[in-house]
Amino acid sequence: MQDEEVLGKAYDSKLMKRLIEFIKPHKKYIYIALPLLCLTSVGENIGPFLTKEAIDNYIANGDLGGLAWIAGLFLIAVSVTFVSRFGQTYFTNLMGQKIMYDLRVKLFKHVQNLSLKYFDKNPVGRVMTRLTSDVEALNELFSSGLVTVFGDVFSIAIITGMLFYLDWKLALITFTVFPILFYVTFLFKKRVRFAFREVKLRTAVINSQLQENISGMNVVQLFNREERNYENFVKENNELLDSHVKTIFNFAIFFPGVEFINSIAISMIIWFGGVRNLESTLTFGTLVAFIQYTQVIFRPIRDLSEKYNILQGAMASSERIFTVFDTEPKIINSPNPIIKENFQGEIEFKNVWFAYEGEDWVLKDVSFKVEAGESLALVGATGSGKSTIISLLCRFYDIQKGEIFVDGVSLKDLDVLELRKNISLVLQDVFLFSESVLNNIRLGNSEISEAQIVEVAKKANAHDFISKLSDGYKTQLRERGSLLSTGQKQLISFARALAFDPKILVLDEATSNIDTETESLIQDAVHELMQNRTSIIVAHRLSTIQEADKILVLHKGKVREIGNHQELLANKNIYYKLYRLQYNLKVE
Ligand SMILES: Nc1ncnc2c1ncn2[C@@H]1O[C@H](COP(=O)(O)OP(=O)(O)OP(=O)(O)O)[C@@H](O)[C@H]1O
Ligand SMILES: [Mg+2]
């Protein structure tokens, strides 16, 4: 079972305390809503009593004036209820929305600062759920749970009080069915909760299946998986149907059941009350009021049991939300960060050991130095740790042993923001936002003018194809740039890197095959990118490798060779072999 689905306690005082912290800034709404709520309860439940008064005191005596008076009172009560219920609904929901707003903002800010390790461990879907449905569950608590509970309790108290006030003997008789009513309601709620949970689970399964199928449609069609996937889908769909049917059954039986129990109470009132009316120990008006009250008391009872579910759901959600809040950002900026005035871009790795998990060393005792303005090409088999070196330089992860220096300052002492400001990173897998090309290059930095963007796009060889897009630089990219080719996306990311004119350029070259024309554009652009700055490039292209001042050969997380192209070829070692393998024995 996914952790989303585990239902915990309905009340946890520690969680509640933390939740109340979020209510505090908006507590004025509670002060407004509570009196309105009481007013609503009174207004809604005064009707039967007025009816009784009308029947016993005025209709019976033919007192028209009094009757008009009661009718007027009734109207006033209805109007007051109208206004107070409106106000109460409005303000409690407003409070709920404002708390949600705060929560989302805080959560988003927190999530943004979490280290990449967190995102390695938590799939996108889960993090999204925290920010959306979990927050939504809390909204239910604040807008229809916490405050309105008072209203329900108050209504039950008013009705009970009224019944006993009118006639305590008949009240006792009426109350004999209430335990059954309570029991049936809570039983129903419990069963529905389980059924709903199953529905939710099944829906989640179907959703993820659909998502995979749709986004991987090309693979599905290419491998003729349609039939198999269809069968899988039908199977899951059947299970979803079954779980829905379970909830239908519960609902179909519950409401008639409650009617039935209520009717038993009413038939008892008619019998016992009727007999007493004939004996003249109970007025006719009281009898009518009793019947009316019994018909409405079920409502707050049902609502109360609903609140129990809301509370339980909200507790589970808030626990998950607070777990996110309690996750410390692993990359902690030094308390007295060094902010370099003139960033040069000299990089040194000194005996660096790093593991993503435990002692599973991905980098072992890695040392190298790149002077400011120099370029270093990282070469090695897949999984040898090239991308990892890049992540470490950007301080996406902290190393376990050794030291990384930038301009002679340990990475841990440098201001993280400052460090990243001076690094431009072009990744293997280019990420584009669903925004205009322009904004994808400047990434929201309005200091970069449009003219500058065109200039860097030209340098990155991206200008030509961008100009040909339907809207030029204003073209909106949808779904991570699905209308662009891989090579074009790469060129845009180069333009992005150039726009920020960093001291250090980090480039993880894409391995994907690109048509020869784009290939030469890219080669050209990489050359442009490497000018006047330190660059570390995970290189697959021979041209890039040859152009680099230094080449570092990485093998299973260890530095095996370091030197320039000619030197390494002369060594006749790993680089030599790699080179021969990759470039089809061009050397001998
Ligand atoms: N986020 C991560 N969490 C755990 N392990 C990881 C993570 N990223 C990479 N690894 C592991 O670290 C090792 C080095 O990965 P890395 O991505 O640095 O290789 P690479 O040299 O860039 O390979 P490629 O040429 O295929 O891009 C691999 O064994 C990989 O499984
Ligand atoms: Mg890589």
- The residue contributing the CA closest to ligand 1 atom 30 is 383
The reply to whether 480 falls in a domain is no
Mean pLDDT across 166-187: 88
For the whole prediction, is pTM greater than 0.75? no
For residue 450, the tally of other CB atoms under 10 A from its CB is: 12
Same domain, yes or no, for 234 and 197?
Answer: yes
The atom number, within ligand 1, closest to the CA of 554 reads 21
Count structural domains, the chain: 3
Residue 277 has pLDDT above 90, yes or no: yes
The atom number, within ligand 1, closest to the CA of 356 reads 4
Rg (the chain; Cα; Å):
36
- The residue contributing the CA closest to ligand 1 atom 12 is 362
The atom number, within ligand 1, closest to the CA of 389 reads 18
Mean pLDDT across 540-556: 85
pLDDT tens column, 36-61: 999 999 999 999 999 999 999 999 88
377: helix, strand or coil? strand
Measured between alpha carbons, how far is 286 from 256 in angstroms, rounded to an integer? Answer: 27
- Give the Å distance between the CA of 166 and the centre of ligand 1: 78
Q: Please give the order of strands across the beta sheet that includes 504-508.
A: 423-426, 504-508, 534-538, 375-380, 550-555, 558-563
Quote the pLDDT of residue 2: 47
Same domain, yes or no, for 81 and 134?
Answer: yes
User: Ligand 1: which of 379, 386, 508, 555 to mutate, judged by most atoms within 8 Å of the beta carbon?
Assistant: 386
- Give the Å distance between the CA of 387 and the centre of ligand 1: 7
The last residue of a domain, from among 151, 166, 181 = 166
- Give the Å distance between the CA of 356 and the centre of ligand 2: 14
Among 451-465, 511-525, 544-558, 567-581, which stretch is predicted with the lowest mean pLDDT?
511-525
* Ligand whose nearest atom lies closest to the CA of 379: 1
The reply to whether 568 falls in a domain is yes
Helix (H) or strand (E) run with residue 456 in it: helix 450-459
Asked whether the beta carbons of 505 and 522 are under 8 A apart, the reply is: no
Measured between alpha carbons, how far is 97 from 138 in angstroms, rounded to an integer? Answer: 10
Phi/psi region, residue 472 (left: phi>0; alpha: psi -120 to 50; beta: rest), is: left
- The residue contributing the CA closest to ligand 1 atom 8 is 388
Residue 584 has pLDDT above 70, yes or no: no
pLDDT tens column, 342-381: 888 899 999 999 999 888 999 999 999 999 889 999 988 8
Write the single-letter amino acid at 538: V
pLDDT tens column, 410-440: 988 888 888 888 898 888 778 888 888 888 8
Write the single-letter amino acid at 151: G
- The residue that leads in pLDDT, 278 or 531, is 278
Quote the pLDDT of residue 368: 93
Measured between alpha carbons, how far is 123 from 204 in angstroms, rounded to an integer? Answer: 14
- Give the Å distance between the CA of 117 and the centre of ligand 1: 13
* Ligand whose nearest atom lies closest to the CA of 554: 1
- Give the Å distance between the CA of 316 and the centre of ligand 2: 38
The last residue of a domain, from among 105, 134, 166 = 166
The atom number, within ligand 1, closest to the CA of 117 reads 1
Q: Output b/e per residue, 81-116; b: 16+ Cβ within 10 A.
A: beebbebbbebbbbbbebbbeebeeebeebbebbbe
Q: Backbone phi, then psi, for 513, in 5-degree steps?
A: -75, 135
Which residues form the pocket of ligand 1, taking CB atoms under 6 Å from any ligand atom? 120, 356-357, 362, 380, 382-388, 428
- Give the Å distance between the CA of 258 and the centre of ligand 1: 61
Residue 297 has pLDDT above 70, yes or no: yes
Residue 10 has pLDDT above 90, yes or no: no
Quote the pLDDT of residue 165: 94
- Give the Å distance between the CA of 434 and the centre of ligand 2: 25
Same domain, yes or no, for 148 and 179?
Answer: no
Mean pLDDT across 21-26: 91
Mean pLDDT across 489-500: 88
Measured between alpha carbons, how far is 375 from 253 in angstroms, rounded to an integer? Answer: 75
Percentage of the chain modeled with pLDDT above 70: 95
The last residue of a domain, from among 101, 135, 166 = 166
Confidence of residue 327 (pLDDT cuts 50, 70, 90): confident
Among 35-44, 506-515, 526-535, which stretch is predicted with the lowest mean pLDDT?
506-515
- Give the Å distance between the CA of 538 and the centre of ligand 2: 8
The reply to whether 230 falls in a domain is yes
The reply to whether 578 falls in a domain is yes
CB neighbour list of residue 64: distance below 8 Å, 6 or more residues apart: 58
Quote the pLDDT of residue 514: 67
Residue 183 has pLDDT above 70, yes or no: yes
Task: Quote the mean pLDDT of the chain.
Answer: 86
Measured between alpha carbons, how far is 75 from 81 in angstroms, rounded to an integer? Answer: 10
Domain extent at residue 23: 11-166
For residue 536, the tally of other CB atoms under 10 A from its CB is: 27
Measured between alpha carbons, how far is 506 from 410 in angstroms, rounded to an integer? Answer: 18
Measured between alpha carbons, how far is 167 from 164 in angstroms, rounded to an integer? Answer: 5
Same domain, yes or no, for 274 and 348?
Answer: no
The reply to whether 357 falls in a domain is yes
Mean pLDDT across 5-21: 76
Quote the pLDDT of residue 77: 94
Same domain, yes or no, for 180 and 262?
Answer: yes
- Give the Å distance between the CA of 332 and the centre of ligand 2: 25
Same domain, yes or no, for 249 and 264?
Answer: yes
Residue 386 has pLDDT above 60, yes or no: yes
Mean pLDDT across 5-20: 75
The reply to whether 334 falls in a domain is no
* Ligand whose nearest atom lies closest to the CA of 118: 1
Q: Backbone phi, then psi, for 49, in 5-degree steps?
A: -65, -40
Same domain, yes or no, for 216 and 253?
Answer: yes
The reply to whether 505 falls in a domain is no
Same domain, yes or no, for 209 and 266?
Answer: yes
| Strand 550-555 to 409-410 pairing | unpaired
The atom number, within ligand 1, closest to the CA of 381 reads 25
Quote the pLDDT of residue 9: 66
Quote the pLDDT of residue 1: 38
Same domain, yes or no, for 416 and 564?
Answer: yes
Asked whether the beta carbons of 373 and 550 are under 8 A apart, the reply is: no
- Give the Å distance between the CA of 530 and the centre of ligand 2: 19
Confidence of residue 587 (pLDDT cuts 50, 70, 90): very low
The reply to whether 302 falls in a domain is no
Contacts within 8 Å (CB) and 24+ apart, 476-479: 476/434, 476/435, 476/436, 477/432, 477/433, 477/434, 477/435, 477/436, 477/437, 477/440, 478/434, 479/434
- Give the Å distance between the CA of 384 and the centre of ligand 2: 8
Quote the pLDDT of residue 162: 93
Measured between alpha carbons, how far is 557 from 534 in angstroms, rounded to an integer? Answer: 23
Same domain, yes or no, for 46 and 135?
Answer: yes
449: helix, strand or coil? coil
Mean pLDDT across 62-73: 92
Q: Backbone phi, then psi, for 505, in 5-degree steps?
A: -110, 130
User: Ligand 1: which of 357, 359, 363, 384 to mutate, judged by most atoms within 8 Å of the beta carbon?
Assistant: 384
The atom number, within ligand 1, closest to the CA of 378 reads 21
Mean pLDDT across 265-282: 93
Residue 307 has pLDDT above 50, yes or no: yes
- The residue contributing the CA closest to ligand 1 atom 26 is 382
Quote the pLDDT of residue 46: 93
The atom number, within ligand 1, closest to the CA of 391 reads 18
- The residue contributing the CA closest to ligand 1 atom 5 is 356
Same domain, yes or no, for 356 and 409?
Answer: yes
Of 307, 326, 311, give the one whose Cα is nearest residue 130: 326
* Ligand whose nearest atom lies closest to the CA of 557: 1
- The residue contributing the CA closest to ligand 1 atom 31 is 383
Same domain, yes or no, for 128 and 19?
Answer: yes
CATH number at 559 reads: 3.40.50.300
* Ligand whose nearest atom lies closest to the CA of 381: 1
Quote the pLDDT of residue 161: 94
pLDDT tens column, 115-153: 888 888 777 777 877 888 888 888 888 887 777 888 889
Of 308, 328, 324, give the one whose Cα is nearest residue 18: 324
